[in-house]
Amino acid sequence: MNIGIILPGFSADKHDRSIPVYDNLVQAMTPHVDVRVITLRYPFYRSTYHLFGAAIHALGGSQMRAHKRLKLWWDALRLIQQLHREKPFDALHAMWADESGLIASWAGRRMGIPSVVSVAGGEAVGFADIGYGLQLGRLSRWTVRRALHDANIIIVACEYTRQLILELHPTLTDTPIHTIPLGIDAQLFTSSDEAPIPNRLIHVAALHGVKDQATMLRAIAQLPADVTLDIIGDGVDRPMLEALTKQLAIDGRVHFLGNVPHDDMPHYYQRAVLNILPSRHEGQGMVTLEAAACGVPTVGTHVGLLPDVSELGVTVPVGDDVAMAQAIGRLLHEHQQYQALRQSARDVVINRFTIQDTVAQLMALYEALMSA
C-alpha cells in the first residue's frame, strides 16, 4: 500500500522533532505501508530526504503568503502528480483541513486517488478577541470548506470537533466522518515508581490566548498556598501571564519553565499530581494523553478529547476559574478518588490511545477506502 501524507511541516532531521506526534505516526506506519510525506512550508528549504523510514519531499514554502501561496499549491499538485507517476498512490492523507487538505482533495479528484483529511486544530473556530482560528479569514474559511467538502473521508479526534464541523457545514453528513485520535509513544511516556510531589500541578502548552492560562492562574489563586504549578511552554502571552501571577500574589508558586525538549517531558509529568488544561479550544489535547500515560489525570475544560473519555480526568466549563479551582481542590483532597483516576487514566491510554492503536485504525480505513 502506498500512502501520501501531506503536512504543513515535518522534522528536518532526527534531532529536529518539529511536531513529535507526526514523527511517531510516520515511524509507526512505515513497517506496514510505503509512506511518502509532502511537506508544504517546513523545513524552510526545498529538499528530498529520508527520515523515520519514509521519503520526505519538502517544498520550503514558508514565506509564500497572499497570492504567492497559489504557486506553492500548484507546485504541490505537480509534485504529487510526479510522485504518482513514479509509484501510484493508493490514498492521500492530509493532516490538517487547511491548505494541506485542499491540496490532498484537489490532487485526489484530479488523479483519481482517494483522499482523507484530518481536522487537527483551529480549522472550525474563529476567536476574534485573540486572533485565533481559520474561520476568521475569508480565504482560510474557503480553504477549510473546500478541503472538507472535497475529501472522501474526514477524520476527527473527538466528538467536540465532529460537532463543530457539522455545525459549520451541515451537508457534510454525506461524507464519512471517522473518530481516530492521535496516540502517544507509550515507550517514552510511562509512569514512575516514585510518588509525585504533593500538590504539584503541571500545564504544558504554548502561552497563547486560546489556551486561556489566565483562567488557570485565577483558579490557582483560590487554592491553598502549598499548591504549586509548573508551566512548560512559551509564547506571546508570557509577559502578561507573569504579570498576572504577581497581581494575584502567586508568583512564588507558579514556575515558568519555558520550552522543554520533548524527550524530557515524562520527567516533568511524573512529578506532578494533576495536569491542568484550561483551553478555550482543543482539536484533541495531546498533553492529556501524555500526562495520563505517566499516571497523571487532567482537570480541563469541555473541549477536545477529555469530555469523551471520563477515565482521563475531570472537565469544567470554559473560562470558569471557580469550577476549575473546586475540581482541582476535590481531587487533591479526596485521596481515594484521585488514586482511582490516576490508575484509570494510565490504563485507558495504554489500552486505547497509543500510536500503534492509531496506525491500526488508519490501516483499516485505508484498506476499506481502496476496496470501496
- Which burial class, exposed, middle or buried, applies to 282 when counting CB atoms under 10 A from its CB (0-12, 13-18, 19+)? buried
What is the reported pLDDT for 27? 97
- Mean of the pLDDT values across residues 100-123? 97
Q: Is residue 64 over pLDDT 80?
A: no
d(CA 328, CA 1): 47
Q: Is residue 372 over pLDDT 80?
A: no
What is the reported pLDDT for 361? 98
Per-position DSSP letters for 109-169, written without gaps between them:
HHHT--EEEE--SSTT--BTTTTBSTTSSHHHHHHHHHHHHT-SEEEESSHHHHHHHHHH-
Residue type at 79 in one-letter notation: L
Please compute, for residue 191, the number of CA atoms within 13 A of its CA located in the half-sphere on the CB side: 17
Please compute, for residue 207, the number of CA atoms within 13 A of its CA located in the half-sphere on the CB side: 19
Q: What average pLDDT does the structure give for the chain?
A: 97
- Report DSSP state, residue 343: H
What is the reported pLDDT for 68? 84
Domain annotation for the chain: domains and CATH numbers: 2-183+354-371 (3.40.50.2000), 200-352 (3.40.50.2000)
3-state secondary structure (DSSP) of residue 228: strand
- Mean of the pLDDT values across residues 43-70? 92
What is the reported pLDDT for 33? 97
Encode pLDDT of 5-19 as tens digits.
Answer: 999 999 999 989 888
The cell numbers describing 230, all together, are: 509548573
The cell numbers describing 292, all together, are: 495520563
Q: 92-108: string of b/e by CB count within 10 Å (b at 16+)?
A: bbbbbbbbbbbbbbbbb
Q: Is residue 218 over pLDDT 90?
A: yes
Q: Is residue 66 over pLDDT 90?
A: no
Encode pLDDT of 259-317 as tens digits.
Answer: 999 999 999 999 999 999 999 999 999 999 999 999 999 999 999 999 999 999 999 99
What is the reported pLDDT for 363? 98
pTM: 0.96
Encode pLDDT of 280-292 as tens digits.
Answer: 999 999 999 999 9
What is the reported pLDDT for 338? 97
- Which burial class, exposed, middle or buried, applies to 6 when counting CB atoms under 10 A from its CB (0-12, 13-18, 19+)? buried
Encode pLDDT of 80-110 as tens digits.
Answer: 999 999 999 999 999 999 999 999 999 999 9
3-state secondary structure (DSSP) of residue 255: strand
From the CB of residue 12, how many other CB atoms can be counted at a distance below 10 Å? 19
The cell numbers describing 308, all together, are: 469523551
Q: Is residue 355 over pLDDT 90?
A: yes
Measured at the alpha carbon of residue 13, what is the angle toward residues 262 and 305, in degrees to the nearest 5? 40
What is the reported pLDDT for 278? 99
3-state secondary structure (DSSP) of residue 298: strand
Encode pLDDT of 164-208 as tens digits.
Answer: 999 999 999 889 999 999 999 999 999 999 999 999 999 999 999
The sign of the CA dihedral 229, 234, 239, 244 is negative
What is the reported pLDDT for 23? 96
> Which residue bears the cell 473556530?
125
By the 8 A CB rule, do 324 and 220 touch? Answer: no
The cell numbers describing 261, all together, are: 525538549
What is the reported pLDDT for 114? 97
3-state secondary structure (DSSP) of residue 2: strand
